[in-house]
Amino acid sequence: MAKFADKVIIVTGASSGIGQSTAELLAKEGAKVAITGRSEKGLEETKQLMLKAGGNEEKILTIAADVTNEEDTKRIVAETVKKFGKLDILVNNAGAGTMEGYPDSSIAQPLLVYDYINNLNARSVIALCQEAIPHLKASKGNIVNVSSIGSLRASPNFMYYQMAKAALDHFTRILAAQLAPEGVRVNVVNPGAIRTNWLARTGIPQAAVDALEKSWLNVWLPMRRVGEPIEIAKTIAFLASDDASYITGQMIVADGGAVIATVPMPKDTSR
């Protein structure tokens, strides 16, 4: 039997990258999936991938929505429950960082940028959880948040993003402690560098993204490669599944070894 047969799952940020791959995997595993994001084109692409993976039309609900808007977060949960009659799993994956208003350091980025980035990566997750929790208590379901290894590091470029993801990590732990007695699990996946549009969408030019991969990731990163979206999708699916039935409040770092590594000594260092 498919792992997620009859499970009703919301995946935010499903119009691209990790969320798209997660929706595809869950459809393959029999789930009824509500896919959401702002780009209708991206959502249609995801739907086609889900159908190709073995999903069927009646098990897919497409909701074009902006998670930073509270009316939209209410609508995402309400429309899902209206169509499928329940909710088992909420995957809070939508997120982004930005170089917007970046002069020469991230502390100088306008506070309006902070407000948006915090809303997108942390506040919107709280809003979605508030709507979803009554349904998850009824189904003894679970929540998987998608954070970043950025929450564990200090990049001079992405202060507000990393702060928001750190808040998301701790929100996960606190919510997990609150909901565990009611049979609802809450966990978080912290990806490292994954091959999606994420970095390019921050506003960093593609040439710089390519150069970064060549000069840094392939030299310093222990696994010597960026990850693929499906590798994070599988981690999300594990935490969402009954295979993780005794795991709550936990963070799984999936990063090719990035956070455990230090920069290697230069090759020509000799005694």
Q: Which of 105, 197, 215, 218 binds ligand NDP (CB under 6 A)?
A: 197
Which one of 74, 201, 220, 251 is in contact with ligand NDP (CB under 6 A)?
Answer: 201
Please list every residue from 130 through 189 that binds ligand NDP, using CB under 6 A: 146, 148
Residue with tokens 């005794």: 246
If we measure between CA atoms, which residue out of 122, 115, 111, 110 comes closest to residue 166?
A: 122
From the CB of residue 216, how many other CB atoms can be counted at a distance below 10 Å?
Answer: 12
Catalytic residue numbers, as ranges: 161
Q: Work out whether 256 is an interface residue with ligand NDP (CB under 6 A).
A: no
Cβ-contact 140, 183 below 8 angstroms? yes
Return the residue of 42, 55, 141, 256 that touches ligand NDP, per CB under 6 A. 42
CB atoms closer than 10 angstroms to residue 127: 21
**Other CB atoms within 10 A of residue 177 CB:** 12
- Please say which residue, 13 or 30, places its beta carbon nearer to ligand NDP: 13
Binding mask 3-22 for ligand NDP (x = CB under 6 A): ----------xxxxxxx---
Tell me the three state secondary structure of residue 206.
helix
Sequence-ordered strand ranges (E) for 16-132: 32-37, 60-64, 89-92
Nearest approach in angstroms of CB 262 to ligand NDP is 20
Nearer to ligand NDP, 21 or 142 (CB): 21
Residues that bind ligand NDP (CB under 6 A): 13-19, 37-39, 42, 66-68, 93-96, 120, 146, 148, 191, 193-194, 196-198, 201
